[in-house]
Structure 1
């Protein structure tokens, strides 16, 4: 028998859905879409698709594959490096809380009233971290790599000839739903009945 209320069961499943959405959106490189040599290019916070590279003869070619930057310092913007860390930590924290909540659906007394409040505070932190990372990401649109794909018109918080793609929205939605779940957590645990002693 579960130790969660009806709201608690709803909280557990919505928390897991939000954490998965934010994590998938974070991992996928389809945040910003531009064009280079008539080829769609995509930029995420730490991954990219169809990126330019110099070949052995020194001419520019488009590598048509998705991959992450070789090292953390290769991420073309300090803002994207900060976003990578904040969203990564936020997604990890959201996933930890949601998996604990899912366990509480099957195992009694994992989520007590105190644990539910702590989980809510941690979910609030996770949602804020994901939201901060999503908010900081557009500050990196002034990097040379992005400008090449956005008609040399992009700058911080202005994407020029580029458009936002589905991964950006999925991550933002996951962070927003995680914030909502932090409120639901306060009503997740069934109240424990304390015995009354008759004298």
Structure 2
């Protein structure tokens, strides 16, 4: 262990790693938005007489669809029928998770706002992991933050990542008006910043907490520590 970090510095390293892990988990998992399995915006069998002939609604009444900015869990599937006669077994919910087939397009990420969210959250996550690795390096190697410029850049980059995550959290609800999302899970009452029959999942709240935490962490990072008047290129206050 190097002797250039005191307790305040180790705290910064620890919280940077914690927020990098939290952001990575929330980015990968699909529990940003959850909702019931719907067809054409409803699961009321009386309103879906034609479709109800081919779907066993009792089988899927407790099934939930979940969505993130670029992945989803569970979706409707129509099995091919050689006789061209559909039965109750032709329509089913495939209970598995995966990313959208394309970035855009009919089978891609359902809204432009979610495409932007994917880019912002993905970039912020990658950079936060890099910052966490730099923090680990500082624990093991002397003088990683000996250059004031490196310390300042670390803080600015970390704060920018926090802003990107805040932007992701604010922009994500704009995509709730996507037709595919309204038909399959949230219902026709859903729209921009109107969640309809869906609900926010834990990943959304984790991302929000990480966004705020990352910006606070940037404030207590090497760039915002005190200076020494005896040094032309002072180190942060917690660098001894």
TM-score over 0.5 for the alignment? yes
1:3 aligned residue: 4
**Is the aligned partner of 1:125 residue 2:163?**
no
1:62-81 equivalences under 5 Å are 62-73=93-104, 74-81=108-115
Number of residue pairs the alignment of both structures matches: 195
1:22-50 Cα distance to aligned partner (Å, 9 max, x none): 11101101110100152111010001011
More helix, by proportion? 1
Q: CA RMSD in A?
A: 2.1
- The two structures have a TM-score, normalised by structure 1, of 0.90
Rounded to whole Å, the distance in 1 between the matches of 2:208 and 2:67 is 16
TM-score (norm 2): 0.75
**Distance in 2, Cα, partners of 1:11 & 1:153:** 44
CA–CA separation in structure 1 for the residues paired with 2:145 and 2:157: 14
Give 5+ residue unaligned stretches, structure 2. Answer: 38-59, 233-240
Alignment of 1:35-184 (within 5 A): 35-36=36-37, 37-38=60-61, 39-57=63-81, 60-73=91-104, 74-112=108-146, 113-148=148-183, 149-184=185-220
Q: 2: distance between equivalents of 1:138 and 1:192? A: 49
On the 8 A contact 1:33/1:164 being kept in 2, the answer is: yes
Matches of 1:140 and 1:80, distance apart in 2? 6
Deviation, 1:60, is 4.1
Instruction: For residues 70-106 of structure 1, give each alpha carbon's deviation from its aligned partner in whole angstroms, at most 9, with x where no partner exists.
Output: 1111011101000000100111111111110121011
SS at structure 1 position matched to 2:142: coil
CA displacement 1:149-183 (0-9 Å, x = unmatched): 11321101110111101111112212211111110
Q: Tell me, yes or no, if the aligned pair for 1:83 and 1:137 is still in contact at 8 Å.
A: yes
CA distance in 2, matches of 1:77, 1:163: 18
Most deviating of 56-65 and 1-10: 56-65
* 3-state secondary structure, aligned to 2:31: coil
- In our comparison, the structure showing a higher alpha carbon Rg is 2
* Aligned counterparts of 1:66 and 1:192: Cα–Cα separation in 2: 57
| Distance 1:189-1:67 versus aligned 2 partners, 3 A rule | farther
Counterpart position of 2:21: 20
